């Protein structure tokens, strides 16, 4: 509760953090009310005077113009916010869950288990994300859940290292020694005594994970490995470059690019402010 109060106070005082919260909250509201605020079905072709509304510039009817396929860009942008939030939050929770547990196990038990988990972590660091994701999605099929699983499998590595380093410094503290002497099991020590002390750092990586996951999904969709049944900002960019309309129709690339940038930057801003709260050194500097 103390950290939450400090975070709220810091967020109010920091324009950067407040901006991040407002932007992320705006995307959340838009994503919730997608069916009610999209003027057209984002996947449907639009027609004007019986002809396909292909590559039309912004107007009173189509606020952000249309794509090469005659789809309304504004409706696609709104629908894309839901994909960004689903992928961002779900993948962030998964990768933080994996990283936190790996860090707890490696830091608490040490020895051979620590060596195995950290060497696995080193291998994960050595695997380039995009080629790995392309191969895995090509094998399993393009879908939003396969993208989330792919992101979660590989991007837990930083969280695991940070949590492990914290557990290494905590496991020799007097309260842990007292828990051992009182007969507490390993699981109880890890999840009752150690976990509450590392959770604030885990929450930080949820915020950062949202940004990483959203950027990863946009990258994969831009390369043509997104879910074809759903509209995402990366998919809009992919269609624009695939059809060549990106060269002439700024309204096909600027809106999705701005949305990706705003979403990722806002998540990083929130994470930076939260890091100042949980990191004593950064707290002193600010």
CATH number at residue 69: 1.10.3720.10
Q: What is the pTM of this model?
A: 0.87
Per-residue pLDDT 10s for the chain (286 aa) are: 455 556 566 666 677 778 888 999 999 999 999 999 999 999 999 999 889 999 999 999 999 999 999 999 999 999 999 999 999 999 999 999 999 999 999 999 988 999 999 999 999 889 888 899 888 888 888 889 999 999 998 899 999 999 999 999 898 889 888 988 888 898 999 999 999 889 888 888 888 899 999 999 999 999 988 888 889 999 999 999 998 888 889 999 999 999 999 999 999 888 888 777 766 555 555 5
Alpha carbon of residue 211 to chain centroid = 4
Contacts of 198 (CB under 8 A, 6+ apart): 100, 103, 104, 163, 166, 167, 170
How far the first Cα of the chain sits from its last, in Å, is 21
Token digits of residue 205: 């990586």
Contacts of 256 (CB under 8 A, 6+ apart): 76, 77, 80, 233, 234, 236, 237
- The 3-class SS string of the chain reads CHHHHHHHHHHHHCHHHHHHHHHHHHHHHHHHCHHHHCCCCCCCCCEECCEECCCCCCCCCCCCCECCCCCEHHHHHHHHHHHHHHHHHHHHHHHHHHHHHHHHHHHHHCHHHHHHHHHHHHHHHHCCHHHHHHHHHHHHCCCHHHHHHHHHHHCCHHHHHHHHHHHHHHCCCHHHHHHHHCCCCHHHHHHHHHHHHHHHHHHHHHHHHHHHHHHHHHHHHHCCCCCCCCCCHHHHHHHHHHHCHHHCCHHHCHHHHHHHHHHHHHHHHHHHHHHHHHCHHHHHHC
**CA separation for the pair 29, 18 (Å, rounded):** 16
Domain extent at residue 90: 2-285
Q: What is the pLDDT of residue 279?
A: 65
- Count the domains in the chain: 1
């Amino acid at each position: 509760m103390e950290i939450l109060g400090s975070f709220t106070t810091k967020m109010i005082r920091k324009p950067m953090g407040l901006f991040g919260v407002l932007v992320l909250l705006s995307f959340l509201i838009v994503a919730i009310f997608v069916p009610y605020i999209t003027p057209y079905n984002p996947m449907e072709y639009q027609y004007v005077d019986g002809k396909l509304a292909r590559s039309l510039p912004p107007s009173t009817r189509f606020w952000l113009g249309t794509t090469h396929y005659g789809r309304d860009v504004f409706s696609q942008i709104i629908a894309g916010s839901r994909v960004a939030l689903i992928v961002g939050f779900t993948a962030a929770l998964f990768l933080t869950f994996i990283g936190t547990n790996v860090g707890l196990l490696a830091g608490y038990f040490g020895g051979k288990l620590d060596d195995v988990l950290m060497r696995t972590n080193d291998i994960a660091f050595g695997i380039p994300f995009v080629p790995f994701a392309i191969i895995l999605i090509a094998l399993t099929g393009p879908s939003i859940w396969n993208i989330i699983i792919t992101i979660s499998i590989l991007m837990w590595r930083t969280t695991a290292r940070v949590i492990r380093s914290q557990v290494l410094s905590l496991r020799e503290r007097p309260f842990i020694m007292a828990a051992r002497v009182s007969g507490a099991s390993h699981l109880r020590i890890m999840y009752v005594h150690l976990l509450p002390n590392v959770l604030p750092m885990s929450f930080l990586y949820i915020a950062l994970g949202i940004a990483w996951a959203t950027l990863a999904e946009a990258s994969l969709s831009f390369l043509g490995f997104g879910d074809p049944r759903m509209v995402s900002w990366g998919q809009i960019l992919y269609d624009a470059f695939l059809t060549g309309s990106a060269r002439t129709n700024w309204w096909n690339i600027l809106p999705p690019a701005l949305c990706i940038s705003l979403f990722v930057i806002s998540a990083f801003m929130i994470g930076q402010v939260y890091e100042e709260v949980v990191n004593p050194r950064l707290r002193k500097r600010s």
